[in-house]
Structure 1
Amino acid sequence: MQRRRGKDLENALLEAAWAELAERGYAAFTLEAVAKRAGTSTPVMYRRWANKTVMVQAAIAHASSQRVIDIPDTGTLRGDLIAIMQAANASRTDLLVATAILLDGYFSETGSNPDQLREQILAGRRSAAETIVQRAVQREEVDASLLEPRLISLAFDLFRHEVLMTLKPVSNEAIERIVDGIALPLLTRQAPPEARGGPSAS
């Protein structure tokens, strides 16, 4: 067995866990197999992760952290949305597909769902969607009074849905349809005059 300690050992275990999950799925996933793949002992695993569920959560969070996307700042809401979806195509599509296909048993066993898992991984951090839309508010492209959580995440939810329906990256044409045909018209609409305190049309 390789003699690794601390963060080096933990990273090796998490990478081995993700590899096991990607190859075998949740149903066949075991801490013993992860230990063998990582070249360490089972007690080492259980000192860090009490059970299979906790180990899988940590492995997914680790895989996600290896695919962090720098949030673009193109100067426009449209440019930011398109740029981040194109970046996600290159670095995160495999993660979305893998978790959708491989984790059915996990969601049944834990009584959770993909959205709850995503919230666990984010751990209170602001999402890319929130950052991009907030910048658009500051540029006065978006009226903050019309925003609500589902609208902020709409473009990203549609992107994820496209990936999960096709199990492959989203085409540039589909990305532009999501942004230009759905997200932008809703995000950049203006409140009616009476809602802004102005005179209403007679």
Structure 2
Amino acid sequence: MTPTSTTTAQETQESAEPARTRPRVEGDREREILEAALVTLADVGYDRLNFDAVAAAAKASKATLYRRWPGKVDLVIDALQLMIGVEADQYPDTGSLRGDLIAQACAKGGIGEDLPLQVFAALLGSLHRDPELRDAIMTRLMAPKMAVTLQTFRAAQLRGEIGKGADLELLARLLPAITIHEAMLSGTHPTAERLISLVDSVVLPACAATLQRD
């Protein structure tokens, strides 16, 4: 067997081996690092975020971060999943679209809290400049979140609160789009009263209008 064929066989064997999983920072320590990443991101923005700043904020070594997260995008996505992967991502099933939307928006991690809005504001400009960040957020973060929201709107459609031919994705984006836009302009997070007002004055009338076209 020639040296060339030996090398090829070795490479084939190595490529067939399962990929090694990344070592994990376990439990509370991982949460502390991710929470530090969120606060740092909100403070300095995505472009200026680096492992040195997060390590200092979390009182961890930079080597610890690199062993767990290969790059900044991975760290940020995991931090965002921690931030919104709570009650706001669950289907409340209150029996009405109004009740479901208010329960989701006002839940821990919902659009009515300060930190989520500050974090997404810090990411906004970078989403247009960094395709890797944008793709990761859309596929690993927003797609699962939208799936939960669409479940709420599909249930409302089955109850007859939304027309059969309605654009559910468009309706599902109304409340977060308006809320984030207002927050960016005012620099403050929406109160529960404002969220309820938007549900009653914008989202529900838009849903009711789809019934008139059936």
Structures share fold, TM-score greater than 0.5: yes
CA deviation map 1:18-58 (0-9, x unaligned): 23223333343221232233333222211222222332232
The aligned amino acid for 2:181 is H
Report % sequence identity: 28
Q: C-alpha root-mean-square deviation of aligned residues, in Å? A: 3.4
Match of 2:67 among 47, 59, 64: 47
Match of 1:180 among 200, 205, 212: 200
Q: Distance in 2 between matches of 1:91 and 1:178?
A: 12
The answer on whether the counterparts of 1:97 and 1:167 sit within 8 Å (CA) in structure 2 is no
Q: Distance in 2 between matches of 1:27 and 1:49?
A: 17
TM-score by length of 1: 0.71
Q: CA deviation at 1:125?
A: 5.2
CA deviation map 1:65-104 (0-9, x unaligned): 3564554333222233234333369775223321243235
CA deviation map 1:87-130 (0-9, x unaligned): 36977522332124323563354147879735531453554421
Which consecutive residues of structure 1, in runs of 5 or more, have no partner in the other structure? 197-202
**Partner of 1:22 in structure 2?**
42
**Partner of 1:133 in structure 2?**
153
**Partner of 2:21 in structure 1?**
none
Q: How many residues align?
A: 190
Q: Distance in 1 between matches of 2:148 and 2:67?
A: 34
Which consecutive residues of structure 2, in runs of 5 or more, have no partner in the other structure? 1-23
Aligned runs of 1:96-175 on 2, under 5 Å? 96-104=116-124, 106-111=126-131, 117=137, 119-122=139-142, 124=144, 126-171=146-191, 174-175=194-195
Q: Distance in 2 between matches of 1:110 and 1:31?
A: 18
Counterpart of 1:73 in 2: which secondary structure? coil
Match of 1:7 among 21, 27, 52: 27
TM-score by length of 2: 0.68
The aligned amino acid for 2:202 is I
Q: Distance in 2 between matches of 1:36 and 1:60?
A: 19
